[in-house]
């Protein structure tokens, strides 16, 4: 998010002075690292939690359309970046991969048919297929078909227009552009404190994590894009807009295939349905990954818990975030989210055999010896004040001070995929005096700016053709996979 905002500002105001501080020694080593997320590039093509079923059996596609709209904004900016030297060869960070929704059982098959009926006629979801034939299932997903009992009905929503995104590579390319254009990039530097001065500017205190030396800077605007570390910094800033917010940390794990043969038998991102009572972030998926030009395969997520707000954080993170203004928010969630607590406990108690059994729903003949357990990224879900208590939100929230001098991003998925849209929102909220003058340049970067593509099919087809060609996504299929 920070790299995206920096790139936008560099294009809009190249003379401005920008400094970026990263606590770790490498770019995108936390949640954006390619093995710390599924790389799906959330466009709502396959994620079933974005298209819930109504009591009457119909499907609500409102959220799916909104997320897809935002993903189109990202595609446009990335295409502009490729054409204008902001980004390099697109295959380094984005590749075409089918996105697939998978269900089994009569009730869920009916739901998936209703989802298809609702989405397929929509311009943004054009080309989606509905598949319930075991033979066609087996042809397209041989790894998932082998050993499957097809007396239990299955169905797929299949979209060839999906992508796999290496957000680590994307972030590194954006940062390379920023560094090359004169932005001060300081790795191994931790922001210790943010304090507002009498003139409205911010004093930023930073420490070199190796030398322990500190320095201070004065800035007219601060963006806190620190992932799980954002909430503590916004709390230190003391802005009233952050009052009442809390964070609930959830860690994750994936099973990653070590068997070349299995990797070569699967070529899709396949999402299922979360178990009853499980949170949206627990949706199981079997994902083809393309990292540094090579293919991999992962399955998950398996939830875990730690009080850390960052994978490289401290066990005191959660406790230090508890303040008088968010205590009742946290306690309220503790009472209302008992199903989440039960789910996390069951996940923590799950054995290796239990994890393989879960994988078996997707890969019936799965063997533990073909997979290794890896720790994924750390997510801090937003807890927002509601009445006298709080509510847990599985999404992102941009917090901005009323005077526009500071903003920060809280929460997790859909995250980076909608990052460009979210950062344009930050520009509009925090730079109202400049935004109007920026609009022509922003429209050069994002031609659909301010327009709903779902209401303008002709414009959608135009930008889709442009982005597909520029990002090399208009070719059928992907090169033969090789083991990662």
Per residue in 152-176, pLDDT (tens digit) is 999 999 999 999 999 999 999 999 9
**pLDDT tens digit sequence for 126-151:** 999 999 999 999 999 999 999 999 99
The label of the residue with tokens 């936390």 reads: 30
For β-strands 269-271 and 285-291, DSSP reports them as antiparallel
What would the mean pLDDT of 448-470 be, rounded to a whole number?
96
DSSP annotation string for 131-173:
E--HHHHHHH-HHHHTT--TTS-EEEEEETT-EEE-HHHHHHH
3-state secondary structure of 216: strand
- For residue 296 the two structure tokens come to 């991999």
Distance CA 78, CA 84 (A): 10
Write out the chain in H/E/C secondary structure: CHHHHHHHHHHHCCCCCCEEEECCCCCCCCCCCHHHCCCCCCCCCCCHHHCCECCCCCECCHHHHHHHHHHHHHHHHHHHHHHCCCCCCHHHCEEECCEEEEEECHHHHHHHHHHHHHHCCCHHHCCCEEECCHHHHHHHCHHHHCCCCCCCCEEEEEECCCEEECHHHHHHHHHHHHHHCCCEEEECEEEEEEEECCCCCEEEEEEECCCCCEEEEEECCEEECCHHHHHHHHHHHCCHHHCCCEEEEEEEEEEEECCHHHHHCCCCEEECCCCCCCCHHHCCEEEEEEECCEEEEEEEEEEECCCCCCCCCCCCHHHHCCCCCCHHHHHHHHHHCHHHHHHHHHHHCCCHHHHHHHHCCCCCCCCHHHEEEEECCCEEEEEEEECCEEEEECCEEEEECCCCCEEEEEECCCHHHHHHHHHHHHHHHHCHHHHHHHHHHHHHHCCCCCCCHHHCHHHHHHHHHHHHHHCCCCCCCCCCCCEC
482, pLDDT greater than 50: no
**pLDDT tens digit sequence for 343-381:** 777 777 788 898 999 999 999 999 999 999 998 878 788
The confidence score (pLDDT) of residue 335 equals 67
The confidence score (pLDDT) of residue 416 equals 65
437, pLDDT greater than 80: yes
pLDDT band of residue 476 (cuts 50, 70, 90) is very low
The confidence score (pLDDT) of residue 478 equals 40
Indicate the pTM of the whole model.
0.92
Check whether the bond before 73 is cis (ω within 30° of 0).
no
| Percent composition of the chain: helix, strand, coil (DSSP 3-state, to 5) | 40, 25, 35
Check whether the bond before 210 is cis (ω within 30° of 0).
no
Lowest mean pLDDT among 25-39, 365-379, 411-425: 411-425
What would the mean pLDDT of 404-415 be, rounded to a whole number?
81
Chain mean pLDDT for the chain: 90
Q: What is the DSSP letter of 21?
A: E
Kind and range of the H or E element at 459? helix 457-470
For β-strands 99-104 and 154-159, DSSP reports them as antiparallel
What would the mean pLDDT of 325-338 be, rounded to a whole number?
78
50, pLDDT greater than 60: yes
The confidence score (pLDDT) of residue 384 equals 84
pLDDT band of residue 52 (cuts 50, 70, 90) is very high
CA 477 to chain centre: 24
């Amino acid at each position: 998010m920070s790299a995206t905002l920096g790139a936008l500002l560099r294009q809009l105001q190249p003379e401005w002075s920008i400094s970026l501080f990263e606590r770790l020694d490498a770019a995108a080593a936390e949640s954006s690292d390619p093995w710390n997320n599924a790389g799906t590039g959330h466009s709502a093509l396959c994620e079933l939690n974005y298209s819930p079923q109504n009591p009457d059996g119909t499907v609500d596609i409102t959220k799916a359309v909104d997320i897809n709209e935002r993903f189109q904004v990202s595609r446009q900016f990335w295409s502009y970046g490729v054409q204008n030297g902001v980004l390099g060869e697109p295959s380094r960070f984005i590749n075409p991969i089918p996105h697939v929704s998978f269900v089994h059982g009569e009730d869920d098959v009916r739901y998936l048919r209703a989802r298809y009926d609702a989405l397929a006629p929509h311009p943004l979801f054009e080309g989606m297929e509905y598949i319930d034939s075991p033979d066609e299932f087996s042809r397209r997903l041989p790894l998932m078909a082998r050993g499957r009992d097809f007396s239990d009905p299955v169905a797929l929503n299949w979209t060839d227009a999906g992508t796999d995104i290496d957000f680590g590579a994307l972030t590194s390319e954006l940062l390379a552009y920023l560094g090359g254009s004169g932005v001060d990039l300081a790795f191994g530097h931790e922001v210790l404190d943010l304090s507002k001065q009498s003139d409205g500017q911010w004093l930023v205190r930073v420490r070199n994590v190796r030398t322990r030396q500190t320095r201070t800077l004065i800035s007219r605007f601060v963006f806190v894009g620190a992932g799980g570390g954002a909430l503590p910094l916004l709390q230190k800033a003391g802005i009233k807009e952050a009052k009442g917010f809390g964070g609930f940390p959830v860690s994750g794990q994936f099973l990653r295939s070590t068997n070349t043969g299995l990797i070569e038998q699967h070529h899709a991102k396949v999402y299922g349905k979360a178990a009853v009572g499980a949170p949206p972030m627990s949706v199981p998926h079997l994902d083809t990954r393309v990292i540094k030009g090579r293919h991999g395969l992962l399955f998950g997520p398996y939830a875990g818990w730690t009080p850390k707000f960052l994978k490289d954080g401290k066990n005191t993170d959660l406790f230090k975030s508890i303040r008088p203004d968010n205590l009742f928010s946290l306690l309220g969630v503790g009472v209302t989210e008992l199903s989440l607590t039960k789910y996390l406990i069951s996940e923590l108690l799950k054995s290796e055999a239990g994890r393989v059994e879960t994988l078996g729903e997707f890969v019936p003949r799965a063997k533990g010896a073909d997979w290794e357990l890896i720790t994924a990224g750390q997510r801090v879900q937003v807890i927002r004040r509601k009445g006298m208590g709080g509510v847990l939100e599985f999404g992102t929230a941009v917090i901005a001070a009323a005077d526009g001098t500071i903003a920060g991003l809280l929460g997790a998925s859909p995250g980076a995929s909608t990052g460009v849209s979210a950062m344009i929102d930050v520009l509009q909220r925090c730079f109202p005096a400049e935004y109007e003058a920026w609009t022509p340049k922003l429209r050069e970067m994002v031609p659909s700016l301010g327009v709903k593509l779902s209401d303008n099919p002709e414009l959608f087809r135009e930008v889709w053709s442009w982005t597909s060609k520029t990002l090399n996504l208009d070719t059928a299929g992907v090169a033969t996979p090789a083991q990662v």
